[in-house]
Amino acid sequence: MLKTTLKNKLQQKANLIRQDVIKMTGEAGSGHPGGSLSAADIITVLYFHHMNHKPKDPKWEGRDRFVLSKGHACPALYAALAECGYFDRKELINLRKMGSILQGHPDSRRTPGVEISTGSLGLGLPAAAGMALAGKIDKASHKVYTLIGDGESQEGIVWEGAMFAAHHKLDNMVAFLDNNGLQIDGLVNEIVKIEPIAEKWQAFGWETFEIDGHDIDDIVRSLEKADAVKGKPAMIIAKTIKGKGVSFMENEVDWHGVAPNLKQVRQALKELENNN
């Protein structure tokens, strides 16, 4: 278990990322706040506690790689990258604006710290598997982490990537499933049921863990266990709440891809600031 001071620090970072998500999408008038808020704790632990990376040297060969397969949740990633120092925090307000380095989905050609452009759902996990295989071939020590969505798990290419990773025994690869239960059209299990999701990943040859995706200690422990797995990739299924941290957004599918207006921004920020 983490020391209380470190846990509090990470929770505060996650809260700051959530505030930035609200500010960014509110200013842009578009974007995907719901899934960004559900992923904030996972991204926080990865960037501020677990991964080896150098913000001042984004292409450092020894860095751990992170691929945001559910690319629409990029506001949370951008907020983390800015807080780490990959680019000036002033850029956050330019989300989705013409000429901005922060596009509506991650663009590795524009944004320091983004490993690969994502947005077409399903492509990030197999790309991460390719990176992990390259690391194996090079006998490199870095890890590859990726985050996929539960609605995204309906994509066939996810399972092709899963087979590929297991076949090549990519124990340098760890994936998170942001299992918030909602996608743009409604409840995941009403559109295309993905359960029993843990058993499916196990059947595809992955070591599988199930956690509370908003519990900092749980996330940290699962990463330590996943990194210790040998001979196979690891999947961490994180139960989360879409819109986490903002009362009127939580578990509301409408906030998948709708930005808050000025009144809603103020209310959301007030709630989040009170959580500090």
pTM across the whole model:
0.97
- Residue pLDDT, tens place only, 55-88: 999 999 999 999 999 999 999 999 999 999 999 9
Q: Is the pLDDT of residue 213 over 80?
A: yes
pLDDT for the residue numbered 15: 98
Cis peptide before 196 (omega within 30 of 0): yes
- Residue pLDDT, tens place only, 94-143: 999 999 999 999 999 999 999 999 999 999 999 999 999 999 999 999 99
pLDDT for the residue numbered 246: 98
What the block records as the tokens of 205 is: 């040859």
Q: Assign 275 a pLDDT band (cuts: 50, 70, 90).
A: confident
Strand order in the sheet with 65-68: 65-68, 144-149, 173-179, 234-239, 207-212
The whole-number average pLDDT for the span 159-178 is 98
The whole-number average pLDDT for the span 251-255 is 97
**CA-to-CA dists, residue 169 to 177, 231, 237, angstroms:** 19, 5, 19
* Helical pair 33-45 and 4-28, crossing angle rounded to 10 deg: 150
Q: What domains sit in the chain, N to C, each tagged with a CATH number?
A: 4-274 (3.40.50.970)
pLDDT for the residue numbered 1: 75
The whole-number average pLDDT for the span 22-43 is 98
- Residue pLDDT, tens place only, 129-149: 999 999 999 999 999 999 999
DSSP 64: P
pLDDT for the residue numbered 69: 98
- Residue pLDDT, tens place only, 214-246: 999 999 999 999 999 999 999 999 999 999 999
Q: Is the pLDDT of residue 276 over 80?
A: no
- Long-range (24+ apart) CB contacts under 8 A made by 56-61 are 56/85, 58/86, 58/112, 58/113, 61/140
- Residue pLDDT, tens place only, 35-51: 999 999 999 999 999 99
Q: How many whole angstroms from its chain centre is CA 225? A: 19
Residues 262, 64: Cα–Cα separation, whole Å: 38
Mean residue pLDDT of the chain comes to 97
